[in-house]
Amino acid sequence: MAPVLQSSQPWVEKYRPKQVKDVAHQDEVVRVLTNTLETTNCPHMLFYGPPGTGKTTTALAIAHQLFGPELYKSRVLELNASDDRGINVVRTKIKDFAAVAVGSGQRQGGYPCPPYKIIILDEADSMTEDAQACWIIEPLASRCAKFRFKPLSEEIMTSRISYICKEEGLNLDAEALSTLSSISQGDLRRAITYLQGAARLYGSSISSKDLISVAGVIPVEVVEAHFSACRSGDFDVANKEVNNIIAEGYPVSLFLSQLFDLVVEAEDISDEQKARICKHFGEADKCLVDGADEYLQLLNVTSHVMRALCNMPEEFHYDT
């Protein structure tokens, strides 16, 4: 028997703003789009910014507000990375859609219904290169009004989360709230996902510790243990620490960013040492993104951090 779904939508979907004016923190965009709604005059637009700041939400909201639910299907084409977007798709699907003109708008059910169509190309940067060349990159970018979406500030995040908490009957203290906004780093979607996860696991009153465990943040002690092993200058001790981190299953990219914070804030390390260390963080991060083995990357970084901290030479001198 398949379990029955009650109101089981993820909160991310449930609390996705339905109207442009509800989109938080992106004043510029909202102002332009509210104007659009009044005049029904809409430029091409290119939204860009970090994840979870409301790009897709805004695009969907404006489309819905312009056309209403009835005309939405015939006037809006939504293409995202889950659709095949090779060059053929761009050539045929989009052109076919755009070529058919629509009759001038008679207002339906209180929606403006302007006489044009909207194509939402979600995640446009992950289209194949050919398809982009078809009309994106410079030519496309220069034809669009560009809007940058800023990462959400802590207050906005807090107010939005408090709202959801009230709706869902959750109890968050001030500490938990600030923890949540700091671990999600301006990404509202992530914050809401964490919140829902924590609510499922720990019921209606959630502490900051619960949130940390849901978010999978690495405990400070683990990072500090590793760092002090690096300070000790003993390779085998550090190697053991690295092995432990891998066995515990902590994601290395996350570990590096937390170690990075620790290094940058440390007061007893010289600027030159910090620079030496950070260079290797950068390299390792790139390798990890490319899919390199986590253990070896972390061990390599560890060895470099140790060499920098203990003032060992960077290069190995071969005896001739």
Partner 1 sequence: MSFAHEPVYNNKAPIFPPLLLSAVPQFLFTLSQVVSFGKKMLWVDKYRPKTLDQAIVHQDIAQNLKKLVTEQDCPHLLFYGPSGSGKKTLIIALLRQVFGPGAEKVKVENRTWKVDAGSRTIDLELTTLSSANHVELSPSDVGFQDRYIVQEIIKEMAKNRPIDTKGKRGYKVLVLNEVDKLSREAQHSLRRTMEKYSASCRLILCCNSSSKVTEAIRSRCLNVRINAPTEEEIVKVLEFIGKKEGLQLPSGFAARIAEKSNRSLRRAILSFETCRVQQYPFTSNQVIPPMDWEEYVAEIASDIMKEQSPKRLFQVRGKLYELLINCIPPEIVLKRLLYELLKRLDVELKHEICHWAAYYVTLCIVLP
List residues near partner 1 by CB under 8 A: 1-6, 8-10, 12-13, 51-52, 80-84, 86-89, 122-123, 126, 187, 189-190, 193, 196-197, 200-201, 214-216, 235-236, 239, 246-254, 284, 287-297, 299-300, 303-304, 306-307, 312, 316
Residue 297 Cβ vs partner 1, minimum distance, rounded to whole Å:
6
| CB closer to partner 1, 116 vs 295 | 295
Supply the minimum distance, in Å, between the C-beta of residue 253 and partner 1.
4
Q: Please identify, using beta-carbon distances, which residue of 32 and 217 lies nearer to partner 1.
A: 217
Say how far apart CA 156 and CA 251 lie, in whole Å: 29
Contacts of 235 (CB under 8 A, 6+ apart): 303, 306
Q: Which is nearer to partner 1, 48 or 102 (CB)?
A: 48
| Placement of tokens 């170690």 in the chain | 259
- In what helix (H) or strand (E) does residue 206 lie, and over which residues does it extend? strand 205-206
Local structure of residue 125 (DSSP, 8 states): G
CA 78, 82, 83, 84 dihedral sign is: positive
Minimum distance, C-beta of residue 294 to partner 1, in the bound complex (Å)? 5
In angstroms, what is the minimal distance from the CB of 236 to partner 1? 8
- Please give the helix or strand (H or E) that residue 119 lies within, else none: strand 118-121
Residue with smaller CB distance to partner 1, 126 or 270: 126
Find out whether 268 and 260 touch, Cβ atoms under 8 Å.
Answer: no
By beta-carbon proximity to partner 1, the closer residue of 3 and 110 is 3
Q: How far is the CB of 208 from partner 1 (least distance, A)?
A: 17
